[in-house]
Structure 1
Amino acid sequence: MNEKILVVDDEKEIADLLDVYLKNDGYTVYKFYNGTDALACLKKTLPDLAILDVMLPDIDGFHICQKIRESYYFPVIMLTAKIADTDKIMGLTIGADDYITKPFNPLEVVARVKTQLRRFQRYNPAIGQPQEKNEFDIRGLIINKDSHRCTLFGKELSLTPIEFSLLWYLCEHQGRVVSSEELFEAVWKEKYLNSNNTVMAHIGRLREKMKEPAKNPKFIKTVWGVGYEIE
């Protein structure tokens, strides 16, 4: 199993309770008590399902759900003390898949999580990701997986298989910061070790071939201390 569940609730007792029950069922849980930290987590880790409280101290759950639906399709369960039909309708309208009101039985929440994941995995083989694409066109950078060709502003780039795979992975995860560890393990299919500069060296060669300025690249951005991103 080991699906990743994002839990956001400012009531620590509730968040901690869900954390315990979900982990006991084999899920990996990313737990937050505010919306800001939860949105920051989404840039680094893509969950398979989110459980969002509506009433948060900074950003409400409806806003987080809207931000998720701008890029992702994984299931969202709204969890709130609000019982008005208008709140339920709003949550479902902006893209939530289910709605649970407090107080609740944590076993029921786990059961609904399983139901949503099972339904989503059945109809969406590429879990949590937009539909699989064979070509990306990002501001003049065109990369095609089938032909294994890449052009920049109409000029073909001569890429090694490793360079192509790195660039494809970044394009496939456009808008998300990808860590060096994730890139290495996805492309080289080996365990990443600390102080491994392999990814950095290949990214440097990629930028040279793309004639990217080192200080302010237009395509492959460095997020210091985190990884790389194609915006």
Structure 2
Amino acid sequence: MQRILVVEDEPTIARAVADRLAAEGFAVEIAADGPAAVAAARSYAPDLIVLDVMLPGFDGLEVCRRVQAEHPVPVLMLTARDDETDMLVGLGVGADDYITKPFSMRELSARVRAVLRRVERSAAPPATPVETATLRAGPLEIDQGSRRVRRDGREVHLTPTEFELLGCLARNRGTVLTRAVLLEQVWDWAGASGTRAVDSHVKALRRKLGADLIRTVHGVGYSLEVPQPVGGGRGDA
């Protein structure tokens, strides 16, 4: 039975989330503040943390930093503010995904399962030569076997979701992929409309890899492009 730690200081929300996840077969523990969350992550060893950003003691971003420094674990962040800066900071400190309040329990459970599937895929041994092949796009090298990414020889740490998104774009290099396609292939959300999740993860990738690799096609989606070696071929922003 997979274990989930729910970190939420509002008792009604915490209980509702815990009850829904328990009904779907997960073992669930609850923590109500930052220090308790870090302690529970140590003692409970969860397979995933559902983590509110706004907490007493210290906030969810600090919880995520401390937990990831001790033992990396998938994190789904809850935020009451539709603030892209908060979302990018959360992704930057190691969160795998986020969901904005208010949310439906159905969407929350779907997001939890999608994050766990992505983590399972990342831990599973590659089954075919295609899955172990190294993808190269200009200065970018994506080792699918070891799940490592380098730009200009420098290793860049990506979350499981960021790695899946980059791999999807790289395997379809030069092709514009719609947000709906990316949601289905990376997030396993067939027919979903959470375009902000795609946009925020693309921005997080640009912060880590440079702004010149992923092209936005407004109103459509994104494509991975190899920067042209004009004027030294940098083009970073």
TM-score calculated relative to the size of structure 1: 0.52
Distance in 2 separating the partners of 1:102 and 1:13: 14
Q: Which has the larger radius of gyration?
A: 1
Which one-letter code corresponds to 1:68 in the other structure? V
Distance in 1 separating the partners of 2:8 and 2:55: 7
What is the CA distance between 1:7 and its match in structure 2?
0.4
Post-superposition Cα deviations, 1:84-112, rounded to whole Å, max 9, x if no partner, equal 11111110111111011100001111001
What is the CA distance between 1:125 and its match in structure 2?
4.5
What is the CA distance between 1:116 and its match in structure 2?
0.5
- What residue is the counterpart of 1:148 in the other structure? none
- What residue is the counterpart of 1:52 in the other structure? 51
- What residue is the counterpart of 1:106 in the other structure? 105
Post-superposition Cα deviations, 1:127-159, rounded to whole Å, max 9, x if no partner, equal xxxx9xxxxxxxxxxxxxxxxxxxxxxxxxxxx
- What residue is the counterpart of 2:158 in the other structure? none
Distance in 2 separating the partners of 1:82 and 1:24: 28
Determine if contact 1:74/1:120 at 8 Å carries over to the other structure. no
Determine if contact 1:78/1:96 at 8 Å carries over to the other structure. yes
- What residue is the counterpart of 1:211 in the other structure? none
**What RMSD over aligned residues (CA atoms) do the two structures have, in Å?**
1.6
What is the CA distance between 1:74 and its match in structure 2?
2.1
Determine if contact 1:5/1:50 at 8 Å carries over to the other structure. yes
1:89-104 map, 5 Å = 89-104=88-103
What is the CA distance between 1:82 and its match in structure 2?
1.4
Determine if contact 1:51/1:79 at 8 Å carries over to the other structure. yes
- What residue is the counterpart of 1:37 in the other structure? 36
- What residue is the counterpart of 1:80 in the other structure? 79
Which one-letter code corresponds to 1:84 in the other structure? D
Distance in 2 separating the partners of 1:33 and 1:73: 21
TM-score calculated relative to the size of structure 2: 0.51
Determine if contact 2:31/2:40 at 8 Å carries over to the other structure. no
Distance in 1 separating the partners of 2:95 and 2:42: 20
Task: Give the unaligned 5+ runs of structure 1.
Answer: 132-231
Distance in 1 separating the partners of 2:67 and 2:98: 16
Distance in 2 separating the partners of 1:111 and 1:34: 25
Determine if contact 1:78/1:100 at 8 Å carries over to the other structure. yes
Distance in 2 separating the partners of 1:68 and 1:38: 9
- What residue is the counterpart of 1:16 in the other structure? 15
Post-superposition Cα deviations, 1:35-91, rounded to whole Å, max 9, x if no partner, equal 211111122121000011011111100001001211323210110101111111110
Q: Secondary structure at the match of 1:44?
A: helix
Relative distance call for 1:125 and 1:35 in structure 2 (3 A) is farther
- What residue is the counterpart of 2:60 in the other structure? 61
Higher helix share: 2
Distance in 2 separating the partners of 1:78 and 1:115: 14
Distance in 2 separating the partners of 1:120 and 1:73: 11
Q: Secondary structure at the match of 1:57?
A: coil
Q: Secondary structure at the match of 1:51?
A: strand
Task: Give the unaligned 5+ runs of structure 2.
Answer: 126-145, 147-237
Pairs aligned (count): 126
Determine if contact 1:79/1:100 at 8 Å carries over to the other structure. yes
Q: Secondary structure at the match of 2:44?
A: coil
1:1-231 map, 5 Å = 2-125=1-124
Distance in 1 separating the partners of 2:42 and 2:83: 32
Moved over 6 A (4+): none
Which one-letter code corresponds to 2:119 in the other structure? F
